Chain A
Amino acid sequence: MTETVETPQTAPNSRFAKFWDGDFAWSFRHSPVALVASLVVVVLVLAAIFAPLIAPYNPFDPATLNLMNGFTPPGTPNAFTQETFLLGTDDQGRDVFSTILYGLRISLFVGTAAVVLAMIIGVILGLVAAYYGGWIETFIMRVADVQLTFPAILVAMLIFGIAKGVTPPEYRNEMAIYVLIIAIALSDWVQFARVVRGAALVEKNKEYVQAARLIGRGSLPIMFRHILPNVLSPVLVIATISLALAIIAEATLSFLGVGAPPTQPSLGTLIRIGQGFLFSGEWWILFFPACTLLALALSVNLLGDWLRDALNPKLR
């Protein structure tokens, strides 16, 4: 870390400069953990987005696969074809580096989509519960309490199982990713609902809400235009921590064989495939996807921790 002398600007000329001089950005610049973690996340996200451009092979195009390339160790030329692969190949001759890039894509997509969906459900239910109170609140929070006594991963598994039973067999593989998103989201909304309700209960009685009510604004605008912006910062923290949990949940489900199908492997599916070759000595098929998953989950987790501290005024 290079300590730069802060020259106090008298008039920040743009929104960005204002943000850059704020407490939030300051604490970001001065936290090595946050810097490294966000760097890792950015690299991984970019790698996932541009996977088709970066990946040397398309692992899902059977035309480019050569079974002779199977089990090539990383960095050494294959005995038959003399081709080299950066991180080796798996049993079907797929380039491990490319499958990781595509797997990262699916892991990140499922994780992000699940958290966004959980956030939408949780925020709406939490706001409604706090704003209307009465039996609506009792009902929503009771359901939340009951669901909270069951581990999220179990709930997700169950929803996945039921959804699998409902979808006709020929669509199961195509639908698996979306079913996975919904299952993880439905197992995760409770956190958001509880936090939003707690914060909204406080906001609800403040003057600005009363004022809005007095000038005759309806319930919906008050909830979403007035109260929501004021309860968003804890939601942001929970979303980041939830993202790490969702990525791990997705990997776990896929690893157990009740998630992303082998035709669209996520990192968890890749680890599941790699586990089969642990005993025969092909460690790289397992090792590199596992490291990628760890790096991703750990950095998102650390970012979440940092965000929680940075947004908590008590710790400043």
Chain B
Amino acid sequence: MFAYIVRRMFQSVIVLLVVGLVAFSMFRFVGDPIDNMLGQERTQADIDRLRTELGLDQPFPVQYFKFLQGAVQGNFGVSYRQGRPVSTIIAERAPATLELAFVSGFLAITLGIALGVFTAIRRQGIAANVIMTVSLIGVSLPTFLIGILLIYIFSVELDLLPSFGRGETVMIGNWSTGFLTASGLKALILPAITLGLYQMTLIMRLVRSEMLEVLRADYVRFARARGLSDRVINFRHALKNTLVPVITITGLQLGSIIAFAIITETVFQWPGVGLLFINAIQFVDIPVMAAYLMLISVMFVTINLIVDLLYYAIDPRLRVDARAT
């Protein structure tokens, strides 16, 4: 167990170092930082001075090490476009994205599992078939079209919900939250549905197929023969055993929620980190891009690590495999 954890963490660190190298190379080779920082009227002496000051005259590995040192301390330099430290900008934007991701993740997991169980138990029912068909269309629709469709229905035609922004927010310390105001909650509905829909259908289909398989298993038939009620069989016996793969996929999907938030945030002009990243790409704002890349990979690697370890803890068969290799 211990060896497995150590090996797994070692892998994660290597991945992060490689991503760091990519991010660092962006700084170093995409555009000249000196060009970006000094204005038109510069002398060679200025350039040389700044080069020494920034440490750009040092060998590549030394620079890379310094970059990593800064990155670990949350220092990613100054945004070319806004002229403010990247860490400050991201800290301002993070609450919006995290709240959106949290709500849509919650929606996706609860509704996904509930609908998955429902469609598995009532396999022949009309409602279940309708849900399955709708979900098929939902999977084929690109996320941004779902967002536009929702805006068209609920903002343009019905005029019920706002189509952009976060509404009013309240500051709690450094955290700006939209949970406490009516307009903030209203503004959250459409983006959260847009972002969560795809993950929800995915979880639902997964739960359904796992559940159908488990319901055919011998131990479920024995449980039925013992005269246990349907509710006990479905929820105590069957659902529990479908959850192992569901946890893995759900965990991995949490990462993609953050990534797909980029699309949703652009459609709804949600002032989060994803919108920041898209604007950074459009204006080639390298420090912001690099910081976003580092942040998101730390998140992905951590999620993957946790999922792997959880899986290892849940499924005893893996332990045997790990020892064998």
Contacts and interface: CB of A to CB of B under 8 A. Distances in A.
Interface of A: 146, 149-151, 153-154, 157-158, 160-162, 164-166, 248, 251-252, 255-258, 271, 275, 278-279, 283, 286, 290, 293-294, 297-298, 301
A291 to B, nearest CB: 10
5 contacts: A150-B259, A165-B26, A248-B142, A256-B263, A294-B140
Nearest to A286: B148
A190 B163 CA distance: 37
Contacts of B140: 294, 297-298, 301
A290 B146 CA distance: 11
A151 B277 CA distance: 15
A150 B282 contact: no
B142 A252 contact: yes
Contact of B297 (A150, A248, A290): A150
B38 interface: no
Nearest to A274: B148
B193 interface: no
Interface in B275-301: 277-278, 280-282, 284, 286, 289, 293, 296-297, 300-301
B54 interface: no
Contacts of B301: 149
B143 interface: yes
A161 B151 contact: no
Contact of A255 (B30, B144, B260, B277): B144
B255 A278 contact: no
Contact of B15 (A146, A154, A271, A301): A146
B266 A271 contact: no
A281 B103 CA distance: 31
A271 B255 contact: no
B18 interface: yes
Contact of B289 (A150, A153, A161, A275): A161
Contact of A275 (B30, B31, B142, B148): B148
B26 A162 contact: yes
Contact of B255 (A151, A290, A294, A298): A151
Given A164-B281, A271-B148, A294-B141, A149 B255 contact: yes
Nearest to A281: B156
Contacts of B296: 150, 154
A151 B280 contact: no
Contacts of A283: 152
Contacts of A165: 26, 30-31, 284, 286
Nearest to B292: A158
Given A149-B304, A278-B156, A161 B280 contact: yes
Contacts of B142: 248, 251-252, 293, 297
Contacts of A154: 259, 262, 296
Given A165-B26, A166-B29, A271-B144, 4 more contacts: A150-B297, A278-B151, A286-B148, A297-B140
A105 to B, nearest CB: 19
Contacts of A149: 252, 255, 300-301, 304
A146 B142 CA distance: 25
Contacts of B151: 278
A151 B258 CA distance: 10
B129 interface: no
B262 A256 contact: yes
A160 B280 CA distance: 12
A157 B262 contact: yes
Nearest to A297: B140
B151 to A, nearest CB: 7
Interface in B94-151: 140-145, 148, 151
Contact of B145 (A150, A160, A162, A294): A294
A151 B253 CA distance: 10
A158 B152 CA distance: 30
B19 to A, nearest CB: 9
A298 B280 CA distance: 32
A154 B83 CA distance: 25
Contacts of A298: 140
A176 to B, nearest CB: 12
Leading 6 A-B pairs by shortest Cβ distance: A165-B30, A161-B281, A151-B259, A154-B259, A165-B284, A151-B256
A165 B286 CA distance: 8
B169 to A, nearest CB: 24
A157 B280 CA distance: 11
A165 B262 CA distance: 20
Contacts of A157: 262, 277-278, 281
B126 to A, nearest CB: 22
A172 to B, nearest CB: 9
A39 B289 CA distance: 43
Q: Which of A150, A153, A251, A290 has the largest count of B CB atoms less than 10 A from its CB?
A: A150
A151 B144 CA distance: 16
Contacts of A294: 140-141, 145
A271 B281 contact: no
Given A150-B259, A154-B296, A290 B145 contact: yes
Contact of B282 (A146, A255, A258, A297): A258
Contacts of B29: 166
A111 to B, nearest CB: 13
